[in-house]
Amino acid sequence: MKKIDDVSTVNELVFSALTENDLQEWFQDIYYRINDEHEYDDSGNIAFLPLSRLNSRQERLECRDILSDVIDSGFFTSGPYIGEIEERLRSFYDAHTCIATSSGTDALIIALKSIGVGPGDEVIVPLNSFAATENSVMAVGAVPVFANIDTSFNMLPDEIERLRTPRTKAVLPVCLYGSCQHIRATYRVAHEANISVIIDAAQCFGIRSLINHCDLLSLSFNPYKNIGTFGKSGAVLTRSAVLARLARQYSYHGFAEGKKNKKAQDWGLNSRMDNMQAATLSVKLRHFDNNAKKRCLLAARYYLLLADLCHKISLPSEKNENTWHLFPILLREGDRASLFGFASERGVELDIYYPSLSHSGEHPLAIGYSCPEQFSASERIHSALFHLPLHNHMSFQEQNSISEVLHDYFQ
Ligand SMILES: Cc1ncc(COP(=O)(O)O)c(C=O)c1O
């Protein structure tokens, strides 16, 4: 089976392009396919993430075929595709073990349980992630302690020193929007302080080096991710044989490896990936390289198209270690609401991920750790944030229209 490419190597190439002509010349296959795809209908409005275009025609066709085989086989829960994709993912990251899970959230819970996080412990998390990050911490009875971010949108490594206490059991950085900025430094600081690191890479599948900067790596393959299945699924990976054994146990009722239905070692979840989802993931993995290249191209095109607006907006700072799950922008000038209204009138949907920061929630476990004054810098950054559409099956024509709308707004 073909090896999956590392996304950072694609970024190195796309971001060395000085003009669109360079990109067209180097990625003729992608440009050709886009022009050839009759599903790219540029006549209508530009939705942020149109659900009917989550999968290309070809992906849908192949998934229908494979799902039909699974239906005939009766292997709905455990089954052959699970082992296949676990080995593919393990080998891509050069990990000791990959455990395919029923969601990215469960992957996080399994990872936290594997390093022994429980009631009374604290876990440092960024304050701007999807709720799953802090919820997984609370699901094991621990307290999420929110860390400030900077304009990379990732948590600041220095926050570990400020926030750590004798109860700090783990740090859970998130590669938000696909960017790995600060992840190495976060691991270095945590490692020196003897604190375990779980990376929430739900938005960042495809950067191989991440596995070297954590104890466990957590992925999501829900349908909205860069590589999404036809339902919920995820994975947890580790380089450690000991953590691998524990993670496997916690992923399925506490049974030791190879001892299903024999006496459990400890309690465990019912969180293995279904064979149905594994089958669709095996199809999506075949298309991953092309889709990842496409995202990198779209990102590089945004930089080229919007270069002259640099005094009005700032574009993401991490170009190499980035899977471009979302394309975040910081507004330097102008007003977000008026920009959103202007774009909407022109048929372009902009969005903000995520609209509110975690410390504004009312989780009883986190209250007392969330004094708002300490987050004013993060709040300032967050108040200037918005996202442009970017997905696997967006056309370059649509992207040109988005650029035109931004230029017209700022002129
Ligand atoms: C940063 C982050 N962490 C965790 C998750 C949880 O993944 P899932 O939806 O597969 O449970 C998501 C995705 O929704 C996410 O974006």
Contact criterion met (CB below 8 Å) for 97 and 90 = yes
pLDDT of residue 256: 84
Contact criterion met (CB below 8 Å) for 328 and 177 = yes
The Cα 362–Cα 203 span in angstroms is: 25
Atom of ligand 1 nearest to the CA of 175: 1
Atom of ligand 1 nearest to the CA of 174: 1
Would you tell me how many other CB atoms lie within 10 Å of the CB of residue 176?
27
Q: Classify 222 as helix, strand or coil.
A: coil
Contact criterion met (CB below 8 Å) for 4 and 289 = yes
Tell me the CA–centroid distance for residue 40 and ligand 1, in Å: 28
**Whose C-alpha lies nearest to ligand 1, atom 4?**
132
Tell me the CA–centroid distance for residue 4 and ligand 1, in Å: 22
pLDDT average, residue stretch 39-61: 86
Tell me the CA–centroid distance for residue 354 and ligand 1, in Å: 12
Torsion of the alpha carbons at 33, 350, 52 and 320, rounded to the nearest 10: 40
Cα-only R_g, the chain: 21
Structure tokens at 310: 């640099």
Residues near 181 by Cβ (< 8 Å), separated by ≥ 6? 152, 154, 317, 318, 321
pLDDT of residue 38: 58
At residue 228 the predicted structure's pLDDT band, cuts being 50, 70 and 90, is very high
Structure tokens at 262: 């024999």
How do residues 256-289 score in pLDDT, each as one tens digit? 887 777 767 788 999 999 999 999 999 999 999 9
Residue of 49, 105, 177, 218 best suited for mutating to test ligand 1, as the one with most atoms within 8 Å of CB: 105
Residue of 134, 205, 220, 251 best suited for mutating to test ligand 1, as the one with most atoms within 8 Å of CB: 220
Atom of ligand 1 nearest to the CA of 203: 16
pLDDT of residue 370: 59
The Cα 131–Cα 41 span in angstroms is: 34
Give the dihedral sign, CA 98/100/104/105: negative
Atom of ligand 1 nearest to the CA of 129: 1
- Ligand 1, residues at Cβ distance < 6 Å: 103-105, 129-130, 132-133, 174, 200, 202-203, 220, 222, 232, 234
Tell me the CA–centroid distance for residue 231 and ligand 1, in Å: 13
At residue 373 the predicted structure's pLDDT band, cuts being 50, 70 and 90, is confident
At residue 359 the predicted structure's pLDDT band, cuts being 50, 70 and 90, is confident
Residue 263 identity: K
Per-residue DSSP letter, 4: P
pLDDT average, residue stretch 155-173: 97
Decide if pLDDT at 79 tops 60.
Answer: yes
The Cα 90–Cα 241 span in angstroms is: 13
pLDDT of residue 1: 56
Decide if pLDDT at 319 tops 70.
Answer: yes
The Cα 307–Cα 281 span in angstroms is: 36
Tell me the CA–centroid distance for residue 377 and ligand 1, in Å: 25
Please return the burial class of 115, using the count of CB atoms within 10 Å of its CB with bins 0-12, 13-18 and 19+. Answer: buried
Tell me the CA–centroid distance for residue 89 and ligand 1, in Å: 18
Average pLDDT of the chain, as a whole number = 93
The Cα 130–Cα 121 span in angstroms is: 21
Alpha helices (H) along 94-182: 104-114, 131-139, 159-163
At residue 366 the predicted structure's pLDDT band, cuts being 50, 70 and 90, is low
pLDDT of residue 262: 76
Alpha helices (H) along 74-144: 80-93, 104-114, 131-139
pLDDT average, residue stretch 303-330: 97
DSSP string, 10-45: HHHHHTT--SHHHHHHHTHHHHHHHHH-TT---SS-
At residue 368 the predicted structure's pLDDT band, cuts being 50, 70 and 90, is low
Residue 323 identity: T
Element containing residue 362 per DSSP (H, E): none
Tell me the CA–centroid distance for residue 33 and ligand 1, in Å: 30
Exposure letters 328-338 (e unless 16+ CB within 10 A, then b): bbbbeeeeeee
Atom of ligand 1 nearest to the CA of 132: 4
Element containing residue 235 per DSSP (H, E): strand 234-238
- The model's pTM is 0.96
Decide if pLDDT at 159 tops 60.
Answer: yes
